[in-house]
């Protein structure tokens, strides 16, 4: 059914206790010019992200690396840390990797360099190998020249705005982490291990990641020899690992743009935009595979496409996965984001699970999953998370489980999804609004007779329809979502709310 589709005057903060200083050597280091200001807007709710080089360059990456270690030491009460680092395919990623890793090493901490891998692989490695933290140089689905960092602590717990990123922003506004020719006695406190810089260790995690993914999904090698799969990796970093997953599964593959290329010559690696799915949709309609999927630039989002070339909304995939998972996990909790269709809640409850609606955003979802001990979570944006002490994105786990369901049921992908197409959903509509909070208050007063939920913006539920308005954290935008039992009602309420939101 219908769904459109910083100042450098203050001294450096002391990060170490005084006992370690007595044996520390003076190190010689190359000089790096300091930025006079750190742009606060790059420190966002879920990551650090800006345009290279004006917002984020090698110098700032160096300071962020040192500040990151100060934060982890403050939180973990440890001096010697081991940090896993990866990067995506963007042209600026090696430069930012160099600056960031130099900052970490100048703090006396070791780095495990995973090279070019996806964001979920970075999360996996930090958790699986027990590192103190991790980072990947990436701007996810953004076009060039954007770049940034996604950061985690122990067990791959992500840093969000309120759990580390804003602390780092404020800290860098007060303290500079300069790299001088020699370290003075006052600065030497920022080095440990008898003055030794941290070392870099290279590590390939591909085989371990592949094996664990298949084990979690309970899928054997060459299990899907009769299935055909189309994939569009958008020239992002996920292409090679996607092909190896499909090769091990035994499927026949129709690949598009699986060779990493940071110029993204074919389209921006954002599968949520309909225009970026044109090539894979055309391929699917021509080759008629079992299913297709598209990945974003760092491989933490996956968008599925059925055998007829229709993109499947992320919440309907969450509903399907809830049914699959609850067969073995009866009574467990499953999270879904507040934009999701009511069908998700209905399926979870109907299959004996406990539905938990929550805020949007990977860091917030993962934190809530840990608190609730949830076994799975899904977002409308194509992020899917597994519990089992993992609590990070598992796009290929979801892919394998869906392929297994198709094989065992002997049904087409579209038929598996059909029961969940119960409602008419508007998709997310953006409005330019200067005073976002005032507008939300106005709508709350106007629709006070509905069931109100305010965990992320304002959601109001009625018998036959509901709407959600929530503010963008980075732009003067209000985002509107509407769902109704009929297309006519959905269109009526969309027109009604659009008019109210647009009024000044």
Q: Counting beta carbons within 10 angstroms of the beta carbon of residue 258, is it exposed (0 to 12), middle (13 to 18) or buried (19 or more)?
A: buried
Q: How many CB atoms lie within 10 A of CB 5?
A: 12
Cis peptide before 145 (omega within 30 of 0): yes
Q: Which of 93, 101, 140, 160 is catalytic?
A: 140
Cα separation, 272 vs 313, whole angstroms: 9
- Residue 420 is given by DSSP the state G
Mention every residue, 6+ apart, whose C-beta is less than 8 A from residue 275. Answer: 267
Please, are residues 395 and 237 in contact by the beta-carbon 8 Å criterion?
Answer: no
Q: Which residues pair with residue 253 across a beta bridge?
A: 229
> Does 140 participate in catalysis according to the annotation?
yes
Question: Are 226 and 50 contacting, i.e. CB atoms less than 8 angstroms apart?
Answer: no
**Helix 206-217 and helix 119-128, axial crossing angle in degrees, nearest 10:** 90
Q: Give me the helix-helix angle, 166-174 and 58-76, nearest 10°.
A: 110
**Among 234, 229, 263, 269, which residue's Cα sits nearest to residue 247?**
229
- With contact defined as beta carbons under 8 Å apart, do 250 and 225 qualify? yes
Per-residue tokens: 297: 């630039």
The closest of 431, 440, 504 to 468, measured between CA atoms, is 440
CB 292 within 8 Å of CB 284? yes
Query: Does residue 405 contact residue 397 with C-beta atoms inside 8 Å?
Result: no
Residues forming a β-bridge with 376? 334, 386
Count the Cβ atoms, other than its own, within 10 Å of residue 456.
Answer: 18
CA distances from 9 to 56, 107, 185, 244, 252 (A): 21, 21, 18, 51, 61
Nearest to 190 by CA among 13, 428, 422, 447: 13
Sheet holding 354-358, edge to edge: 354-358, 333-337, 376-378, 384-386, 392-393
CA distance 356 to 338: 9
CB 5 within 8 A of CB 311: yes
Nearest to 135, CA basis, from 227, 64, 231: 64
Angle at 72 between CA 238 and CA 383, to 5 degrees: 30
Token pair 């949007």: residue? 360
Q: CA 300, 301, 305, 306 torsion: positive or negative?
A: positive
Token pair listed for 329: 């996990």
Residue positions annotated with a catalytic role? 140
């Amino acid at each position: 059914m219908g769904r459109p589709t910083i100042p450098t005057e203050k001294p450096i903060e002391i990060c170490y206790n005084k006992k370690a200083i007595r044996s520390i050597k003076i190190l010689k280091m190359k000089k790096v010019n300091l930025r006079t200001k750190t742009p606060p807007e790059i420190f966002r709710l879920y990551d650090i992200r800006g345009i290279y080089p004006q917002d984020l360059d090698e110098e700032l990456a160096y300071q962020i690396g040192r500040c990151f270690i100060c934060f982890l030491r403050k939180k973990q009460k440890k001096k010697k840390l081991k940090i896993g680092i990866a990067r995506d395919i963007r042209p600026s990623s090696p430069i930012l990797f160099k600056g960031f890793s130099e900052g970490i090493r100048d703090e006396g901490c070791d780095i495990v360099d995973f090279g070019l891998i996806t964001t979920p692989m970075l999360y996996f490695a930090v958790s699986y190998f027990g590192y103190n933290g991790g980072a990947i140089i990436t701007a996810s689905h953004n076009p060039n020249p954007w770049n940034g960092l996604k950061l985690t602590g122990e067990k791959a717990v992500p840093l969000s705005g309120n759990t580390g990123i804003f602390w780092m922003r404020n800290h860098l506004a007060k303290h500079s982490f300069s790299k001088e020719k020699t370290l003075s006695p006052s600065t030497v406190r920022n080095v440990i291990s008898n003055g030794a810089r941290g070392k870099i260790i290279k590590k390939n995690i591909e085989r371990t990641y592949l094996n664990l993914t298949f084990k979690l999904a309970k899928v054997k090698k060459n299990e899907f020899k009769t299935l055909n799969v189309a994939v569009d990796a958008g020239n992002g970093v996920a292409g090679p690992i996607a092909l190896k997953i499909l090769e091990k599964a035994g499927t026949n593959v129709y690949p598009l743009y699986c060779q990493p290329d940071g110029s993204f010559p074919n389209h921006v690696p954002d599968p949520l935009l309909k225009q970026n799915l044109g090539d894979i949709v055309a391929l699917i309609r021509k080759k008629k595979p079992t299913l297709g999927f598209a990945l974003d630039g760092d491989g933490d989002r996956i968008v599925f496409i059925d055998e007829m070339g229709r993109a499947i909304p992320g919440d309907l995939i969450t509903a399907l996965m809830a049914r699959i998972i609850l067969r073995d996990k009866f009574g467990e909790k499953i999270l879904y984001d507040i934009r999701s269709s009511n069908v998700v809640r209905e399926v979870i409850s109907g299959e004996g699970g406990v539905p938990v609606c929550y805020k949007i955003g990977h860091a917030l979802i993962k934190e809530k999953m840990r608190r609730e001990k949830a076994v799975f979570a899904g977002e409308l944006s194509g992020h899917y998370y597994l519990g089992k002490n993992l609590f990070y994105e598992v796009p290929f786990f979801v892919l394998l489980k869906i392929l297994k369901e198709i094989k065992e049921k002997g049904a087409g992908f579209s038929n598996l999804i059909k029961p969940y197409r119960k409602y008419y959903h508007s998709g997310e509509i953006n409005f330019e609004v200067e005073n976002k909070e005032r507008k939300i208050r106005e709508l709350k007063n106007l629709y006070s007779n509905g069931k109100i939920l305010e965990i992320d913006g304002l959601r109001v539920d009625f018998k036959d329809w509901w709407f959600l308005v929530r503010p963008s954290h980075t732009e003067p935008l209000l985002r509107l979502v509407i769902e109704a039992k009929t297309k006519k009602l959905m269109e009526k309420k969309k027109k009604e709310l659009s008019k109210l939101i647009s009024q000044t």
